[in-house]
């Protein structure tokens, strides 16, 4: 137990870190191109924020949150997602004060008490964006395209983009009623969760994972039949903009966000080869959320992308960089008497920005050369007794095995530019 990470969590080891950094670099670059700025919010928040911001009737809030009382008896929750926190920060710091749209992105750990399996963890990482302050359909299209661009830049193929509209508080009550009538006649056949959703939040039945509920839901009425003019034209405009850039998408009427503050566009990107956990990113518009959390009425839209799943998909398609980190120089010294001088050179070279390693045990020449190979040193500096007495060292180029004697003064000039 002491030597195992808690169930559903994972260490990210040095051998894996390059892949993570690579993905993070790509998404930071895309965010810069799209004009999104990074925000970092606390890992934990007041529980109430998530109850309000995600919704009391959702699985995340009902079953999956890591909630505890702190020593001051406040109810605290490890963030299960980051939209509510970003919106809270937006309101708290009045990021709306300049009247401009706030375009924010984040990368970080989220926590959900989920059943762990491939692609589903209790601590996982999300990259996400939130655009607050505009109800223009072009922001919807831009947000969707940002997600798609990140995934395309990584080289991922076989992605599926699904979009839908979930209406707004104007047109949804009528749809709710239609759904209640439809599912009401079949309530005995629904799972226990859906039976309670029937009165509380019937739209959530549409995305129930239970196969039998799913089958019943296939014949449910579509929201498109009740959309108000505003929602209808908004959705049309989003589709036109996606068409304009030639992005392929599918309209999926079962894609829902069943809370009142979610409005209009909903979307999901899937990578089917990941099987049961094929959703790579999901998001949508939430024009009522900022107000719900106590801010001024402000439109918003965002998505979150699961980085473990992006990495799994990239690995499947062989897109991740190999661990190619090299060491610029390895300093070899077998003589305790002259080690101080060698150590001094190590530090000076590092000061000049070179990656330099040395042997801590003063082992044999053979074992030190082995270590130099292991860290993929480009050059080895050998502090031999005879050369040292002459004020010089041996410089060995590991690529071609050529070696020459150089004076101390020339070490820096010989190694200049190695790191490039
Ligand atoms: P959600 O916040 O539930 O809309 O999730 C957004 C994205 O986060 C999903 O599409 C997944 O890629 C990822 N995700 C959600 N839950 C988990 C989890 N438990 N483990 C790993 N990734 C997850």
* Domain at 248, CATH number: 3.30.930.10
Q: CB of 309 closer than 6 A to ligand 1?
A: yes
- Those residues whose C-beta lies under 8 Å from the C-beta of residue 1, and which sit 6 or more positions away, are none
Q: Are residues 165 and 277 in the same domain?
A: yes
Closest residue (by CA) to atom 16 of ligand 1? 120
Give, for 206, the enclosing helix (H) or strand (E).
Answer: none
Q: CB of 114 closer than 6 A to ligand 1?
A: yes
C-alpha 177/C-alpha 79 separation (Å) is: 33
Mean pLDDT estimate for the chain? 94
**Tens digits of per-residue pLDDT, 17-57?**
999 999 999 999 999 999 999 999 999 999 999 999 998 88
Q: Are residues 384 and 260 in the same domain?
A: no
Q: Are residues 243 and 134 in the same domain?
A: yes
Contact 403, 354 (CB under 8 A): no
Q: Are residues 150 and 247 in the same domain?
A: yes
Q: Report pLDDT for 153.
A: 97
**Tens digits of per-residue pLDDT, 122-133?**
999 999 999 999
Domain boundary pick from 266, 292, 316 = 316
What separation in Å is there between the alpha carbon of 34 and the centre of ligand 1?
Answer: 23
Q: Report pLDDT for 419.
A: 57
Q: CB of 207 closer than 6 A to ligand 1?
A: no
Residue 204 lies in a domain: no
Q: CB of 279 closer than 6 A to ligand 1?
A: yes
Mean pLDDT of 237-265: 91
Q: CB of 124 closer than 6 A to ligand 1?
A: yes
C-alpha 246/C-alpha 96 separation (Å) is: 33
Residue 178 lies in a domain: no
Q: CB of 61 closer than 6 A to ligand 1?
A: no
Q: CB of 130 closer than 6 A to ligand 1?
A: no
Q: Are residues 298 and 374 in the same domain?
A: no
Domain boundary pick from 268, 294, 316 = 316
What separation in Å is there between the alpha carbon of 108 and the centre of ligand 1?
Answer: 12
Domains held by the chain: number? 2
Q: Report pLDDT for 323.
A: 72
Q: Are residues 251 and 377 in the same domain?
A: no
Residue 215 lies in a domain: no
* Ligand 1 closest atom vs CA 60: 3
The conformational region for residue 353 under phi > 0 = left, psi -120 to 50 = alpha, else beta, is: left
What separation in Å is there between the alpha carbon of 247 and the centre of ligand 1?
Answer: 23
What separation in Å is there between the alpha carbon of 281 and the centre of ligand 1?
Answer: 7
Closest residue (by CA) to atom 20 of ligand 1? 120
Q: Are residues 89 and 57 in the same domain?
A: yes
Q: Are residues 304 and 335 in the same domain?
A: no
C-alpha 420/C-alpha 417 separation (Å) is: 6
What proportion of the chain, given as a percentage, has pLDDT over 70?
Answer: 99
Task: Using CA atoms of 21, 25, 26, 31 in order, give the dihedral in degrees to the nearest 10.
Answer: 140
DSSP string, 359-414: -SS---HHHHHHHHHHTTEEEEEEE-HHHHHTTEEEEEETTT--EEEEEGGGHHHH
Q: Are residues 239 and 373 in the same domain?
A: no
CA atoms within 13 A on the CB side of 314: 23
Position 399 pLDDT exceeds 60: yes
Q: CB of 197 closer than 6 A to ligand 1?
A: no
Domain interval for residue 139? 14-171+227-316
Q: CB of 307 closer than 6 A to ligand 1?
A: no
CATH number at residue 334: 3.40.50.800
Mean pLDDT of 264-288: 95
Q: Report pLDDT for 335.
A: 94
What separation in Å is there between the alpha carbon of 175 and the centre of ligand 1?
Answer: 27
Q: CB of 126 closer than 6 A to ligand 1?
A: yes
Q: CB of 82 closer than 6 A to ligand 1?
A: no
| 61 — pLDDT class (breaks 50, 70, 90) | very high
Closest residue (by CA) to atom 23 of ligand 1? 306
3-state helix, strand, coil in the chain (%, to 5): 40, 20, 35
Of 385 and 1, the one with more pLDDT: 385
Q: Report pLDDT for 225.
A: 82
Contact 298, 261 (CB under 8 A): no
Among 268, 271, 272, which Cα is nearest to 257's? 268
Q: Are residues 257 and 387 in the same domain?
A: no
Q: CB of 127 closer than 6 A to ligand 1?
A: no
User: What's the farthest any 2 CA atoms get from each other in the chain?
Assistant: 96
Q: Report pLDDT for 119.
A: 93
**Tens digits of per-residue pLDDT, 123-159?**
999 999 999 999 999 999 999 999 999 999 999 999 9
Q: Report pLDDT for 324.
A: 74
Residue 102 lies in a domain: yes
CA atoms within 13 A on the CB side of 56: 5
Q: CB of 306 closer than 6 A to ligand 1?
A: yes
C-alpha 408/C-alpha 388 separation (Å) is: 9
Closest residue (by CA) to atom 18 of ligand 1? 120
Q: CB of 280 closer than 6 A to ligand 1?
A: yes
Q: Are residues 363 and 265 in the same domain?
A: no
Residue 389 lies in a domain: yes
| 258 — pLDDT class (breaks 50, 70, 90) | low
Q: Report pLDDT for 280.
A: 97
What separation in Å is there between the alpha carbon of 23 and the centre of ligand 1?
Answer: 17
Residue 31 lies in a domain: yes
Closest residue (by CA) to atom 17 of ligand 1? 120
Residue 28 lies in a domain: yes
C-alpha 415/C-alpha 365 separation (Å) is: 22
What separation in Å is there between the alpha carbon of 305 and the centre of ligand 1?
Answer: 7
Domain boundary pick from 316, 335, 362 = 316
Position 88 pLDDT exceeds 90: yes
> Which of these ranges, 80-94, 161-175, 199-213, 377-391, has the smallest mean pLDDT?
199-213
What separation in Å is there between the alpha carbon of 280 and the centre of ligand 1?
Answer: 7
CA distances from 287 to 104, 171, 413 (A): 16, 14, 61
Residue 419 lies in a domain: no
Q: Are residues 113 and 231 in the same domain?
A: yes
Position 418 pLDDT exceeds 80: no
């Amino acid at each position: 137990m002491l030597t195992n990470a808690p169930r559903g969590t994972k260490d990210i080891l040095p051998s894996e870190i390059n892949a993570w950094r690579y993905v993070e670099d790509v998404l930071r670059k895309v965010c810069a191109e799209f004009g999104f700025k990074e925000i970092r919010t606390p890992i934990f928040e007041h529980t109430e924020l998530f109850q309000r911001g995600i919704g009391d009737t959702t699985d995340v809030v009902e079953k999956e949150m890591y909630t505890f009382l702190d020593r001051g008896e406040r109810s605290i929750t490890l963030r299960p997602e980051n939209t509510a926190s970003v919106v809270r920060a937006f309101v708290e710091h009045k990021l709306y004060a300049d009247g401009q749209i706030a375009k924010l992105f984040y990368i970080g750990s989220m926590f959900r008490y989920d059943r762990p399996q491939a692609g589903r963890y209790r601590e996982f990482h999300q990259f996400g964006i939130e655009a607050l302050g505009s109800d223009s359909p072009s922001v919807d299209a831009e947000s969707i395209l940002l997600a798609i661009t990140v995934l395309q830049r990584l080289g991922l193929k076989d992605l599926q983009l699904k979009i839908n509209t979930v209406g707004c508080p104007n047109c949804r009550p009528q749809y709710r009623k239609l759904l209640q009538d439809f599912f009401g006649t079949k309530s005995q056949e629904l799972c226990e969760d859906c039976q309670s959703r029937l009165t509380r939040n019937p739209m959530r039945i549409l995305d129930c994972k239970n196969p039998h509920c799913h089958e019943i839901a296939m014949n449910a009425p579509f929201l498109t039949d009740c959309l108000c003019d505003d929602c209808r034209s908004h959705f049309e405009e989003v589709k036109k903009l996606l068409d304009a850039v030639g992005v392929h998408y599918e309209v999926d009427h079962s894609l829902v966000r069943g809370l009142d503050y979610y409005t209009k566009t909903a979307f999901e990107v899937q990578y089917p080869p990941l099987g049961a956990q094929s959703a790579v990113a999901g998001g949508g518009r939430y024009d009522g959320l900022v107000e719900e959390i106590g801010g001024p009425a402000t439109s918003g839209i965002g998505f979150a992308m699961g980085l473990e799943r992006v990495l799994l998909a990239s690995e499947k398609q062989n897109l991740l960089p190999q661990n190619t980190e090299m060491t610029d120089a390895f300093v070899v010294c077998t003589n305790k008497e002259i080690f101080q001088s060698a150590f001094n050179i190590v530090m000076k070279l590092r000061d000049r920005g070179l990656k330099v390693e040395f042997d801590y045990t003063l082992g044999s020449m053979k074992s030190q050369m082995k270590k130099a190979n292991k860290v993929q040193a480009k050059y080895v500096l050998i502090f031999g007794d005879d050369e040292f007495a002459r004020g010089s060292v041996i410089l060995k180029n590991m690529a071609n095995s050529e070696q020459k004697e150089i004076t101390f003064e020339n070490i820096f000039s010989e190694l200049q530019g190695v790191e490039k």
